A and B are shown apart, each in its own frame.
Chain A
Amino acid sequence: MQSTTARALVGLLLTTTALTACSGTGGDSPELSLLLVDQASTKELQSTLIPRFEKSTGIKVNVELVPESGMDAKLALSLSNNSNQYDVVMTGAKNWSTLVASKWIKPLDEYVNDPKTAPKDYLGGFPGQLLETIKSGGHYYAMPYQVGADILFYNKKMFTAAGLDPSKPPKDMNELIETARRLTKADRSQAGFVGRGTREGNENSFTWIMMWFLNGGHWAEPGANAKYDVLTEKPALTTADQYKRLMSEYAPKGAAGYGFAEAQLAMQQGKAAMWLDAAQLGPALEDKNASKIAGDVGYSVLRGTGEDYIVGAVWAFSMTSTARDPKRAWELIKYLTGKDVAVSQAVSGTNGSPGRTDALADPAVGQKFNPEFVKALQEAIAHANPRYTPLIPEGTQIRSALSLALSKVLSGEAGTEAAMKEADDAIRKIMQ
Chain B
Amino acid sequence: MTLVREAESVDGAGARPVRRRARFRHRSRGEAASFYLLIGVPFLVLFLVTFVPLVVALWTSLLDWNLADPAGAVFVGLENFTALAGDPAFWHALLLTAYQVSATVALQFALGMPIALLLARRFRGVKVLRSLYIIPMMTTPVVVGLMWRMLLGTDSGLVNYALSLVGIGPVDWLGDAGTAMPAVIGADLWLSTPFVVIILLAGLQSIPQEVYEAASVDGAGGLRVFLHITLPLLKPMIFLALLFRVMDAIRRFDTIYTMTGGGPGNATETLDLHAYFAAFRDLEIGKGAAMAMVMLLIIMVFSGFLLARVRADDRADG
- A interface residues, Cβ below 8 angstroms from B: 1-6, 9-10, 13, 69, 72-73, 76-77, 80, 98-99, 101-103, 197-200, 252-257, 271, 393, 396-397, 400, 404, 407-408, 410-414
Contacts and interface: CB of A to CB of B under 8 A. Distances in A.
Contact of B282 (A5, A69, A396, A407): A396
Contacts of A411: 175-177, 180, 263-265, 267
Contact of A397 (B155, B264, B282): B282
A252 B153 CA distance: 12
Contacts of A407: 263-266
Contacts of B38: 9
Residue among B68, B260, B281 with max Cβ neighbours from chain A (10 Å): B68
A199 B277 CA distance: 12
26 contacts: A3-B33, A5-B30, A6-B30, A6-B34, A6-B37, A10-B37, A76-B280, A80-B67, A80-B283, A102-B69, A198-B263, A199-B263, A199-B264, A252-B155, A254-B155, A257-B263, A257-B264, A393-B69, A407-B263, A407-B264, A408-B264, A411-B265, A412-B177, A413-B177, A413-B265, A413-B266
Contacts of A404: 265-266
Contacts of B154: 252-254, 257
B214 to A, nearest CB: 51
A10 B41 CA distance: 10
Given A101-B68, A393-B69, A408 B37 contact: no
A2 B33 CA distance: 8
Given A72-B281, A197-B175, A5 B68 contact: no
A181 to B, nearest CB: 20
A6 B277 CA distance: 47
Contacts of A69: 261
Given A1-B30, A2-B30, 19 more contacts: A2-B31, A6-B34, A9-B37, A13-B41, A76-B67, A76-B68, A101-B70, A198-B261, A253-B172, A256-B263, A396-B281, A404-B265, A407-B265, A408-B265, A411-B175, A411-B176, A411-B263, A412-B177, A413-B265
Nearest to B149: A257
B25 interface: no
A13 B176 CA distance: 54
B62 interface: no
Q: For chain A, what secondary structure do more than half of its interface residues adopt (helix, strand, loop), or is it mixed?
A: helix
A77 B283 CA distance: 9
Contacts of B262: 199
A254 B172 contact: yes
Contacts of A412: 176-177
The 8 nearest A-B residue pairs measured at CB: A254-B154, A3-B30, A411-B264, A408-B265, A256-B175, A200-B261, A2-B30, A413-B265
Residue among B37, B67, B266 with max Cβ neighbours from chain A (10 Å): B67
Interface in B80-124: none
Given A5-B34, A393-B68, A410-B175, A76 B283 contact: yes
Given A254-B153, A411-B175, A77 B263 contact: no
A271 B155 contact: yes
Contacts of B280: 73, 76-77
Contacts of B209: none
B264 A256 contact: yes
Contacts of A5: 30, 34
A431 to B, nearest CB: 13
A193 B251 CA distance: 38
A251 to B, nearest CB: 11
A157 B174 CA distance: 32
A254 B66 CA distance: 35
B28 interface: yes
Contacts of A77: 280
Nearest to A72: B281
B266 A408 contact: yes
Contact of A73 (B41, B175, B281): B281
Contacts of A200: 261, 263
A254 B67 CA distance: 35
Contacts of B29: 3
